[in-house]
Structure 1
Amino acid sequence: MTAETSDTRDRPAPLAADPIASAREQWVEHGWEDAAPGMAAITSLMRAHQIALARVEATLKPLGVSFARYEVLMLLLFSKRGSLPMKLVASRLQVHPTSVTNAVDRLEGAGLVTREAHPGDRRALIITLTPEGRAVAEKATAALNTEVFARPGLGAGDVEALIRVLGRMRQQAGDF
């Protein structure tokens, strides 16, 4: 069974109408017409996030990693030495250090990374990718490229437009 076949079997039947469009109409009817487009946009974005995350997690599950752990593996894979200070991992992934600690705990328990004291700063930790971690990162990337990233559910023009729009949103929020 392919991932696509599995996805369609596990999905509930489509709704007869778009609930977000219906909610937008309700917003207007309640006198919130100025906020209705933004509500529809943010709610749509959040639903799209759920859809994308479910596809990604289903692809990664057979490899025993979540998307959060995959991101840590890939950051280490892309680094020159296959290792980075934990604080830098948190900064680059734009997450709280506690989230990185939790991900690293799981990755270390699975033998995919090691954690050592920083030689120049005893308060800091260095996370290093193991050969097993490199193999999982490469397998996960191949699966994600094939099953999710190459087929995001949008045409190429829409993908590029979405990247631009979300990039502006992220920039306005201070991401970069």
Structure 2
Amino acid sequence: MTLELDPIAEARRHWAERWPVEPSRAMAAITSIMRCQQLLLARYDELLKPFRLTFPRYEALMLLSFTREGELPIGKMGERLQVHRSSVTNVVEKLVGDGLAARARHPTDGRATLVRITDQGRDVASAATEVLNADLFGLSALQAPDQEELVRILQDLRRDVGDFGDA
């Protein structure tokens, strides 16, 4: 659904009527980031629908495919995907149910469960990646230098809020 007017610009106008320019600019920036996230996730889910994947499931498959052995403990997956363990468990259950991943006992830690990508999971991840790459992950409206600048700007923001250190 295309809106007739930009609700963020309208909110910024109202904000600026009540507060100084600096907070209204920051409010418009953060609201724009959040709205872009919503729009891009909806786009990814639509592109991934033929593969019976959501973006979180796709991310989990790709994470597993990038590992040396194609497997990780659920807890490690949560750390690397930056989500709570219960969210990873839900994603893993769906991947296992669809035959894209399998659970296995950890060989040295009886408390841990390994998640292993299956051959079918690798095939689906590869095909889904081709679709997302062809779409440039929804960022085709931005030229390459603008994409790089966006990464740099968001990296600065992430560092400032403590997402990662300078090490």
Structure 1 and Structure 2 fold alike (TM over 0.5): yes
Correspondent of 1:72 among 48, 60, 74: 60
Instruction: Look up the equivalent residue of 2:118 and give its one-letter code.
Output: T
Instruction: Look up the equivalent residue of 1:159 and give its one-letter code.
Output: Q
Distance 1:146 1:79 in 2: 24
Correspondent of 2:137 among 144, 149, 153: 149
SS at match of 1:35: helix
Cα distance change on mapping 1:96 and 1:150 into 2, 3 Å: closer
SS at match of 1:127: strand
Instruction: Look up the equivalent residue of 2:122 and give its one-letter code.
Output: R
RMSD: 1.4
How many pairs does the alignment contain?
164
The 8 Å contact of residues 56 and 148 in structure 1, kept in 2 or not, is answered as no
Match of 2:156 in 1: 168
Match of 2:91 in 1: 103
Q: Does 1:128 align with 2:116?
A: yes
Q: Which runs of 5+ in 1 are unaligned?
A: 1-11
Match of 1:21 in 2: 9
| Mapping for residues 30-69 of structure 1, pairs under 5 Å | 30-69=18-57
Instruction: Look up the equivalent residue of 1:51 and give its one-letter code.
Output: L
SS at match of 2:87: helix
Distance 1:170 1:78 in 2: 23
SS at match of 2:109: coil
Q: What displacement does 1:14 show?
A: 4.3
Q: What displacement does 1:147 show?
A: 2.1
Q: Which runs of 5+ in 2 are unaligned?
A: none
Over 6 Å off, 4+ runs:
none
Match of 1:116 in 2: 104
Q: How much identity, in percent, do the aligned residues show?
A: 46
Distance 2:35 2:138 in 1: 20
Give TM-score scaled by structure 1 length.
Answer: 0.88
Give TM-score scaled by structure 2 length.
Answer: 0.92
